[in-house]
Amino acid sequence: MESIYSPEKQSLVLGGGCFWCLEAVYQSWDGVLSVTPGYGGGTLARPTYEQVCGGETGHGEVVQVVFDPARLPLDLVLDIFFAAHDPTTLNRQGCDLGSQYRSLILFGDRAQEEAARAAIARHQPDWPDPIVTQVGPLDRFWPAEADHWDYYRRHGGAPYCQGVIGPKLAGLRAAFAGHPRLLPEGDGDD
């Protein structure tokens, strides 16, 4: 799957822990055209969830966020990313442990790389520890199996959704309260 670039849409591949969380986060924003969970940053072609979770493929659990930059600028996409996870923990987000849960930005062009590096510098003062987010070129994005798509919307009552994703969304709603591009609760995250 290729990155998508045009005046009306761009794509960026992001990893910040479990892809179910980031998928739900970005589905909450006007200007996001699609969010696809998958795998990136590794060496194995067509990896499976089980292979990635085994930690031997080098892939991270990521989402491909396709967005309209006129409605949701790249800098805001990155600000949401840094608000949605702890970019200072190496290979870990909460109880999720392993290199597949690392903080990762896979860019498609030089402008995205520069924006990613600027976002790290902009957000470093927000954290007491150094940001360890990996930034690199997108080699290939592999969509996850269909049962991982729209996970929070389909399984909102599941313990992981209630205990991890729901509170994460509530925190982001508080952090971005009143932002004109944040969809009303229920429009994107239920």
The answer to whether the beta carbons of residues 12 and 112 sit under 8 Å apart is yes
Q: Is 21 a catalytic residue?
A: no
> In angstroms, rounded to a whole number, what is the distance separating the alpha carbons of residues 30 and 172?
14
Tokens of 190: 């239920």
The answer to whether the beta carbons of residues 28 and 172 sit under 8 Å apart is yes
Helix (H) or strand (E) segment spanning residue 117: helix 110-123
Positions marked catalytic: 18
